[in-house]
Amino acid sequence: MSDNQTKEPGSATLILSMVLAGLISGVAIIGVFEATLPTITLNKAKELREAVFKVLPGVSKMQKLRFANGRLQVVEDNKVGEDVIYAGYDAEGKFIGYAVPSEGPGFQDTISLLYGYLPDQRKMVGMEILDSRETPGLGDKIFKDLEFVANFKDLSVDPTIVAVKKGKKAKPNEIDAITGATISSKAVVRIMNVARERWEKRLPPPGNEPELKL
C-alpha cells in the first residue's frame, strides 16, 4: 500500500512518473502506427484503384501520371497532389480516358473526389467522392443519392459545368442539384470546374496520350 496520502512526493518523483508515462505511451503509439501503416496505405491505394475503375467504364488497366516540366510523365510513387492524374486503358492497352482527382472546400470540410473524363468527346463519364464530411442525411447525398451521381455519367464540360435546381436540367452541361444540399452540390461542381481548368492546358491533344507502360 502506498502512503501517498500522508507523504508529499518530491518534484523529481512527479516529473519522473510523467516522463515515464509519456515514454511508454509514445512507444505504444509508434508501435500501433507502424503496425497499421501498411494496411492503411494498402486500403487507400485499393480504394483509389477501385474508384478509377468506377469512374471510367470499360477500363481494366491504369497508370499514374504526373505533370512535370510541361508534360505528363508516368510515375509509380504514392505521392498525391494537384499534378497527379490517372490514365485508364482497356484490356488491349488502348487509351480510354483520364481519372482526375481534385479537392476543395465543401459545406463542412474538404471534399475530395475523382471524376472520369474522356478527352476526345470532352465529357465526364463518372464521379466518385473519395472523402467528405458533409452533413449526414443531406450533404452526404453527393455520394449516397444515386440520381445525383448519375448526373455525371454523361456530362459535357463545355463551357463549364453548372448546377441547376432539381428537375431543371436541360442542357448537356447542367446537373440537377440536391434539394436541401445546394451548397454541397455546388461545391462538387466547383471542385470539378477548378480541376477541369487546371488540366485543360496540361493535357496533350486527343490521340497523343501517353502509352501504357508495362
Partner 1 sequence: MKQKELDGYQEFVKGIWRENPVFVQVLGMCPMLAVTNSAMNAVVMGVATFFVLVASSFMISSLQHWIPRQVRISLYIVIIATFVTLADYTILATLPAAHKQLGAFIPLIVVNCMILGRQEAFASRFPVKYAVLDAVGMAGGFLFAMLALGSVREILGTGTLFDIPLFGKGFEPWVTMILPPGGFLTLGLILLFFNWVTKKRGEFLQQVATEREGL
105 binding partner 1? (CB under 8 A): no
Alpha-carbon span 202 to 32, nearest angstrom: 41
Nearest distance in Å: CB 10, partner 1: 10
Decide if 32 contacts 38 (C-beta within 8 A). no
Decide if 74 contacts 210 (C-beta within 8 A). yes
172 binding partner 1? (CB under 8 A): no
Q: How is residue 130 written as a grid cell?
A: 473519395
CA distances from 141 to 71, 127, 147, 204 (A): 37, 13, 9, 34
Nearest distance in Å: CB 84, partner 1: 21
47 binding partner 1? (CB under 8 A): yes
173 binding partner 1? (CB under 8 A): no
The count of residues interacting with partner 1 (CB under 8 A) is 31
Nearest distance in Å: CB 15, partner 1: 9
Burial category of 180 from C-beta neighbours within 10 Å (exposed 0-12, middle 13-18, buried 19 and up): middle
> What is the binding site for partner 1 (CB under 8 A)?
1-2, 4-5, 9, 13-14, 17-18, 21-22, 24-25, 28-29, 32-33, 35-36, 39-40, 43-44, 47, 131, 133, 135-138, 180
